[in-house]
Chains A and B, each alone.
Chain A
Amino acid sequence: MAQSTAKTDYQGRIHNLQKDMIGRYYARLTAAAENRGEKAVYMLISGNPVELIEAFDMIPVYPEVNALQLAVKKQSLPLILAAEEMGYSTDNCAYVKADVGMYFAGRKTPFATIPEPDLLLCNYVGCNVYLQWFEHLQEYSKAPIYNLDVPFFRTKAIDPSEEDVSYVVKQLEDLVEILERMSGKKLDYQKLQRIVELSGETGALWSDIKRLAQRRPTPYDAYFDSVMMMAPLYCLRGTEDGLRFFQEAYKEMKQRADNHEGPLPEEKFRLVMEGPPPWPYLRQFRDMFSRWGAVAVASTYSTVGGIWEFGFRHDPQRPLESIARHMLQWNVCNRNFMQRYQQIKDYVDDWGADALVIHSVKSCRLFSAGQGDMREYFTKQLNVPTLLIESDIEDPRYFSEAQLRNRVDAFFEALEHQRMLVSK
């Protein structure tokens, strides 16, 4: 039976650390916007070469992170509407619309002033909207653009081909030249190696944290808490701050796991969550699961910016090659649906999940288009109880709370009933 829950999100020591660090990151953005700081390089989250940007002391700007922050802070709708007024369709990704709306509203947000781009670095990693998005930003800002083309991980081979890797490495070398021109200084290779080493160590800790969710109970919710930890993972990867955050986070999670502490009083159902969260209603959405004692032990969305839990590490001995491999292979966006099915299946098996919940979002067709087939595969072929529900990642108009709650309740009632039958 569903319970009302008093507290459903994790607020430990790292919460304050994160607030502090991300606050500093946003202060850097504001400084850049006010011409007091570093040069701003716009990039996308999934599979990016932030290590090179940090090596040149520039600041990465992630329109996706800004868009999601706007949604979390319930600021996205007027910006989306402003973009639709300009001609954007209701069917266009609302991340883009919120970002465009924010751009034309003076780039001021409650968390920072976003700088104009000095370089639009479109790391095209599976998501075709990325290309459109940066094409539009180029049209509006007239900033220089570089499309870093990453071949889709499209074959049945275990690894991308050598041609694929070398193509990306050569483009990274192009990028180094561009950054050298922009900064007026040569790449400091040792500095790059150190930054790549930091990314490698951060990835290793993140992987360890994810593996802790295999414990019973899981010490944290690997969807709702993991997506919060994505901010330091993406905005601070390759920095000392980023590494320190994950050292602390691992310590804290490990202690909780050893003490058998979970995010809920009782862990009744272990879930794999697929798809991005509804940022404007994160709390309401989380509560729908918490009240059933359902906790995520793994999630695909937390691998948008990188998959580390299956062994990938950035390698300081081969910095560009390992950045290229991260972009090509070790993030969920550049993988095809078959590879995502396999990833979910591994989570179900190795993290001991009882069910799969697919949150389909209209904005992100990369994630969602075809998830009906995914449900078909998991329910019919693998016999994994699967729930498919729909709302949106950014646009609050698509979140129908009562309807979602009904679907979620019906699903867990059925699961509970099934359990009762088995135990009899």
Chain B
Amino acid sequence: MEVKVATTLVEEIPQLDSMLASCREIAEDSDFATAKHWLEEHPQKKAIGCFPIYCPVELIHASGMLPLGIIGAGNQIEITHADSRFQSFVCSIVKSTLELGLTDRLKFLDGMLFHSICDPTRNLASVFQRNFPGLFVEYIHFPQNFASPLGRKYLETEYRRLLNRLQERSGYSPTPADLNRSISLYNRIRCALREIYRIRTETPHLLSAAESFVLVRAGTLMAPEDFLQILEKVLAEIPGRAARPKDRIRVVLEGSFCELPPLGLIETVEQAGCYIVEDDFLRGWRWFTEGVPIQENPLAALAESYSERAYYSGTKHDSRETKAAHLIRLCKEKKANAVIFQAAKFCEPALFDYALYRKALEAANIPHLLLEFEEKTWSFDRARSEAETFVESLLFD
């Protein structure tokens, strides 16, 4: 498959729809052609894959390497080898990511980073270590104690350990100024993404959730400098879009923070009559609710931001505000009529959250719908009829 690379796309095809179409191609390309092309043009650079949810990409970037989102294989490949390593009750993304490795599709990477989001991922990191001995595999421990400042202080030491490991691999030891340059770059990207999400909350008819999804996903598969250019062009063009608001319900979508939902499913939910005004797709690549401060100690700034200025996530257990209370507050803030809980099949963290949320949403009288998916799903008839019935029950209530 021929995929347009980001640089061409920025220079020659400024129209919003073509840009989004190209992003869609990049997002759906399990050959990682855009990233490979960039690496060919930058032969001194190495690429590091980041498994969901959040990865401190600045550390990789400042070490002179390219961070990429390795987030399963969608419905693009068949799982034939990974099934013998992970059982039938394990989610698809764990198996498809391993399958990418076992079928040599990740050979262009120099390393993979995993972290403590769930038990299968924890074990996947080890399985990667054993099966790909030449690959640099690291596992980040993100603290789960937010009640005490000890957690974020510890995270700073963890970032230092990771940075040391990365520089062993890259051969370059980044200075605080390097780190701050990377933080600034990713701050600009995250700021643009917050703007995209603000537009979707305030004027959801101007940009669909499926469109913003492919945009963010494509951004994880290219150089951040290129992505920033695309984002800036997209933001400049959105206000000029000819679109009128439709009679749809406003929903907050939760539960898709790791395994990526098929694009067709997001479109199905939207076509059924929903404006998805907030979601947790690829949340780790947007992560911070405001810019990471530029300061003398960049690792401390990143660690502090993780603890104090990051989005809620199903795998981050912040006892300062309960998850259910947080979701209900979010619905009010976003003026949402309902919550769609879209969880990956076998995803234990998301399915646990659902039980918690369901009880709280019912107590708060907020309608909700559970849709389970797998990245490899390609038929959405059932989801369509469930979503349509749900929307109808609200629109004509």
Contact = CB atoms under 8 A, between A and B. Distances in A.
A149 B307 CA distance: 14
A5 interface: no
Nearest to A136: B356
Given A138-B319, A152-B139, A167 B150 contact: yes
B131 interface: yes
Contact of A370 (B123, B143, B157): B123
B355 A89 contact: yes
A217 to B, nearest CB: 33
Residue among A89, A146, A170, A174 with the most chain B CB within 10 A?
A: A89
Interface stretch (A61-69, A372-380, A401-409): A372-380
Given A135-B323, A136-B355, A336-B139, A91 B346 contact: yes
B358 A86 contact: yes
Contacts of A373: 85-86, 127, 130-131
A365 B154 contact: no
B118 A128 contact: yes
A299 B358 CA distance: 39
B85 to A, nearest CB: 4
B127 A147 contact: no
Interface stretch (B53-61, B87-95, B184-192): B87-95
Contacts of B324: 139
B198 interface: no
A163 B151 CA distance: 12
B22 interface: no
Interface string A149-162: 10110100000010
B117 interface: yes
B129 to A, nearest CB: 6
Given A147-B147, A148-B145, A139 B356 contact: yes
A151 B319 CA distance: 18
Contacts of A105: none
A27 B356 CA distance: 32
A372 B87 contact: yes
Interface in B96-136: 116-120, 122-127, 129-131
A171 B148 contact: yes
Interface in A321-367: 336-338, 341, 360, 362, 364-366
Contacts of B126: 336-338, 370
Interface string A393-422: 000000000000000000000000000000
B48 to A, nearest CB: 17
B351 interface: yes
Given A128-B349, A129-B119, A132-B352, A368 B319 contact: no
B358 A87 contact: yes
A60 interface: no
A390 interface: yes
Contacts of A124: 144
Q: Is the interface of B mostly helix, strand, loop or mixed?
A: helix
A126 interface: yes
Contact of B89 (A131, A146, A154, A362): A362
Interface string A219-260: 000000000000000000000000000000000000000000
Nearest to B150: A170
Given A132-B349, A136-B356, A373-B127, A171 B150 contact: yes
B116 A369 contact: no
Contact of B151 (A91, A93, A149, A366): A149
A365 B130 CA distance: 19
A102 B120 CA distance: 27
Q: How large is the interface on A (under 10, 10 to 19, 20 to 34, 35 or more residues)?
A: 35 or more
B127 A370 contact: yes
Nearest to A173: B150
Nearest to A365: B119
Nearest to B157: A163
Given A147-B144, A149-B144, A369-B94, A91 B358 contact: no
A82 to B, nearest CB: 12
A183 interface: no
Contacts of B317: 131-132, 135, 147
Contact of B143 (A127, A149, A390): A149
Given A91-B348, A152-B116, A368 B141 contact: no
B379 interface: no
A88 interface: yes
Contacts of B158: 151
B322 interface: yes
A104 to B, nearest CB: 11
B241 interface: no
Given A87-B358, A151-B154, A369 B144 contact: no
Contact of B123 (A129, A149, A337, A376): A337
A207 interface: no
Contacts of B373: none
A397 to B, nearest CB: 13
Contacts of A149: 143-145, 151, 154
A214 interface: no
Given A167-B150, A338-B130, A370-B85, A365 B348 contact: yes
A128 B117 contact: yes
B8 interface: no
A83 B355 CA distance: 9
A121 to B, nearest CB: 12
Contacts of A83: 355
B87 A371 contact: yes
B358 to A, nearest CB: 4
A92 interface: yes
Residue among B119, B145, B353 with the most chain A CB within 10 A?
A: B119
Contact of B319 (A93, A96, A145): A145
Interface in B340-385: 345-349, 351-356, 358-360
Contacts of A336: 122-123, 125-126, 139
Given A92-B352, A370-B123, A376-B84, A151 B144 contact: no
A91 B116 CA distance: 19
B161 interface: yes
A369 B355 contact: no
Given A336-B126, A370-B123, A370-B124, A136 B352 contact: yes
A201 B87 CA distance: 40
A365 B148 contact: no
B315 interface: yes
A128 B119 CA distance: 6
A360 to B, nearest CB: 6
B351 A369 contact: no
Nearest to A368: B87
Given A88-B355, A128-B117, A366-B123, 8 more contacts: A89-B351, A89-B355, A92-B348, A148-B145, A149-B154, A362-B89, A364-B119, A372-B86
For the complex of A and B, list the 5 residue pairs with the smallest distance between their C-beta atoms, beginning with the closest. Answer: A337-B126, A369-B120, A370-B123, A149-B145, A89-B351
9 contacts: A88-B352, A91-B347, A147-B317, A149-B151, A151-B143, A152-B116, A369-B124, A370-B85, A373-B86
